[in-house]
Structure 1
């Protein structure tokens, strides 16, 4: 799938996919959008002491990076699981310049070269837990969320032709075990009109089960049909102001049972 780097209005970059006629982030401001929707309206709104985050659509890693930065600022320990079926190569990510060569990040009270840490985020092994900082543990999973099903309290993958569960698939067991449900879901799939299969009632029902009590789901999409599906799944849904200069509204859904 071809991807083209484009600059957005806040100076940060995004990727454009001609095949889908779709961008990875808002053209009004990639970094501004991610910071507002997933960090300010999501992570900062969570009362979890040690938040467990599930991102649907790891993509450029921008949401993960901003979460790492916030984890270091707040001192909260974040366990981050990112699902991505089509991982991007570091060579392309590097060209987005989300982190500059002279930028520093404070990790455990000490200054560290940000670009080295950002590269580790993208080049760390898939299907493994990696402690990138004392406050941020990452697990990247190369899998299609639509194929995942609950089985005996764990999320397993359906990767057989007849639709049955492959019970030998065990690499997802730890982060998806219902004894340690997620506190946050960053729902960052491509738009419903571009990727309708990712915006289904079944999928939102599944996400509701994966969230702990008081868990939060945030998404840039504020369409009425998406709001109604979230409500049908059991969420209490808020329409919130969108990012500066961007979408007028976004959605934040909470699990309160």
Structure 2
């Protein structure tokens, strides 16, 4: 099932989509680009480039959405010449027609967005020599995979819209997906979300957020 959305321009000039059923935007209205760059790229990807020496980094994204997080990751993988295998799940993806209206390639000088959204599900697709995408159209609760990841981008809708995706059981599932030393980053810093992460055995760090957001979270799976 495709998401029912409308596009809006956020404060930094980048688009986001608003889910009509939930009446919630996929990104911050203060700036979609600057939010994704801070929460997922700076706090997650760039830190992992320094932390892990493996030839390939494995990333799992909860909430493919507009594809902005994937696009920014593909750009950084190319820039740093580090290979990334990027798995992403979304139960209600955007239609290709809606995705074509997003302005990310124009804004950022990239050319990844069409292939991100038009690529087949359940098959690896290379966007550049350093970035491979695997998309799944499924609910997170139904995900079954033997893969383990260095980073999880946790980009579900807010707890007020999808509370079931912020429960202790979900973070236990995410902790199982992380490799030792792996990190989960998210924009949501509510106290009970932090508590649920700790219940899953993760060490929670609060970090300064992007414009319009005081705190964001990085949760770390400790080495065994």
Same fold (TM over 0.5): yes
Residue 13 of structure 1, aligned match among 12, 15, 27: 15
- Segments of 5+ residues of structure 1 without an aligned counterpart are 105-113, 149-154, 156-175
Which digits, 9 at most, give the CA deviation of each residue in 1:165-217, with x for residues without a partner? xxxxxxxxxxx325xx1000000000001111111111100110110010000
SS of 1:51's equivalent? strand
Aligned to 1:177: 146
CA–CA separation in structure 2 for the residues paired with 1:136 and 1:246? 31
Aligned to 1:120: 115
SS of 1:131's equivalent? strand
Task: Please state if 1:256 is matched with 2:222.
Answer: yes
* Poorly superposed stretches of 4+, deviation over 6 Å: none
C-alpha displacement at 1:136, in angstroms? 0.3
Aligned to 1:43: 45
C-alpha displacement at 1:97, in angstroms? 0.8
CA–CA separation in structure 2 for the residues paired with 1:70 and 1:139? 18
CA–CA separation in structure 2 for the residues paired with 1:253 and 1:246? 21
Aligned to 2:81: 75
SS of 2:86's equivalent? strand
- Segments of 5+ residues of structure 2 without an aligned counterpart are none
Contact between 1:185 and 1:218, CA under 8 Å: does it hold in 2?
yes
Aligned Cα root-mean-square deviation (Å): 1.4
CA–CA separation in structure 2 for the residues paired with 1:37 and 1:184? 12
TM-score, length basis structure 1: 0.81
C-alpha displacement at 1:238, in angstroms? 0.4
C-alpha displacement at 1:45, in angstroms? 1.1
SS of 1:193's equivalent? coil
CA–CA separation in structure 1 for the residues paired with 2:138 and 2:169? 17
CA–CA separation in structure 1 for the residues paired with 2:153 and 2:74? 14
Which digits, 9 at most, give the CA deviation of each residue in 1:94-132, with x for residues without a partner? 21211129x75xxxxxxxxx33x3211111111101122
SS of 2:106's equivalent? coil
Residue 132 of structure 1, aligned match among 127, 134, 138: 127
CA–CA separation in structure 2 for the residues paired with 1:4 and 1:123? 19
TM-score, length basis structure 2: 0.93
Task: Please state if 1:233 is matched with 2:182.
Answer: no
Task: Please state if 1:144 is matched with 2:135.
Answer: no
C-alpha displacement at 1:21, in angstroms? 2.0
Q: Whose Rg is larger?
A: 1
C-alpha displacement at 1:227, in angstroms? 0.4
SS of 1:87's equivalent? coil
